[in-house]
A and B are shown apart, each in its own frame.
Chain A
Amino acid sequence: GAVVSQHPSRVICKSGTSVKIECRSLDFQATTMFWYRQFPKQSLMLMATSNEGSKATYEQGVEKDKFLINHASLTLSTLTVTSAHPEDSSFYICSAAIDRAGAYGYTFGSGTRLTVV
């Protein structure tokens, strides 16, 4: 149980275009989802926290107008990279929080490899 499905797994886009990444909780409702970015040989860096029905909270240094997050339902959060540039090429990973006292709290999607050319 507690599966998070992330799509697409890989995407190549041209510089200046926008890309949308979807994160779905398949068998549970996710009030909160997290978006991470990971550059090669580095650890995961949290970008933002999204809560269903409200605005996302962005980490310091993350441009909210460039990385649009929408969490319109309890099972879907999307990350849109607007006007993508080569420096946005990275591995993007979503995570959903499961708030069960004493149990593991987070499950992750399989990631999206974004390449901007």
Chain B
Amino acid sequence: DAKTTQPPSMDCAEGRAANLPCNHSTISGNEYVYWYRQIHSQGPQYIIHGLKNNETNEMASLIITEDRKSSTLILPHATLRDTAVYYCIVRGWSGGSNYKLTFGKGTLLTVNP
């Protein structure tokens, strides 16, 4: 799997948009970008994933650059409950259900009142 690079920490004001960057310059054509988050002492929570098109769901938006070498997760109106570690993971789709997710260090997002 392609490696990802994320800033170790970021701050955001409550109510503002949080933009979390991820670099995955070695991504290959069949690899998806996944975002998960982990609130303290809980299991990771799926946020969103994408291949090459921008994606949006009820939680967030995912913007993938045209060359697919980087992406940005956008939380449009951050709340205090969005304080968590956010993980950007690249994962191929070959191998079916046996394909394991490998977590990096992620970005600790702190939303401040």
**Alpha-carbon gap, A85 to B49, bound state (A):** 39
One of B19-27, B40-48, B73-81 at the interface: B40-48
Residues of B contacting A51 in the complex (Cβ-Cβ under 8 angstroms): 98
| Minimum CB distance partner of A103 in chain B | B49
Residues of B contacting A31 in the complex (Cβ-Cβ under 8 angstroms): 97
Per-residue A-contact encoding for B15-43, CB less than 8 Å = 1, 0 else: 00000000000000000001000100111
- Decide if A113 is an interface residue (CB 8 Å cutoff): yes
How many residues of B are counted as interface, with CB atoms below 8 angstroms from the partner's CB atoms? 23
Please state if B46 and A106 are interface contacts (CB–CB under 8 Å): yes
Please state if A97 and B98 are interface contacts (CB–CB under 8 Å): yes
Residues of A contacting B41 in the complex (Cβ-Cβ under 8 angstroms): 91, 111, 113
| Minimum CB distance partner of A2 in chain B | B46
With most chain A CB atoms within 10 A of its CB, the pick from B34, B41, B45 is B41
**Which size bracket describes the interface of A in this complex?**
20 to 34
Residues of A contacting B87 in the complex (Cβ-Cβ under 8 angstroms): 43
**Alpha-carbon gap, A4 to B44, bound state (A):** 12
CB neighbors of B among A1-23 (8 A) = 4, 6
CB neighbors of A among B55-113 (8 A) = 87, 91, 93, 96-106
- A93-B44, A99-B97 provided; 15 other pairs, C-beta below 8 A? A43-B104, A43-B106, A44-B44, A46-B101, A46-B103, A49-B100, A95-B44, A95-B101, A97-B96, A104-B46, A104-B49, A105-B101, A108-B45, A111-B41, A113-B41
- Interface residue ranges, A against B (CB under 8 Å): 4, 6, 31-32, 34, 36, 43-46, 49, 51, 91, 93, 95, 97-99, 101, 104-111, 113
- Interface residue ranges, B against A (CB under 8 Å): 34, 38, 41-46, 49, 87, 91, 93, 96-106
- A selection of 9 A-B contacts at a CB cut-off of 8 Å is A36-B103, A45-B103, A46-B101, A97-B97, A99-B96, A99-B97, A106-B101, A108-B43, A111-B43
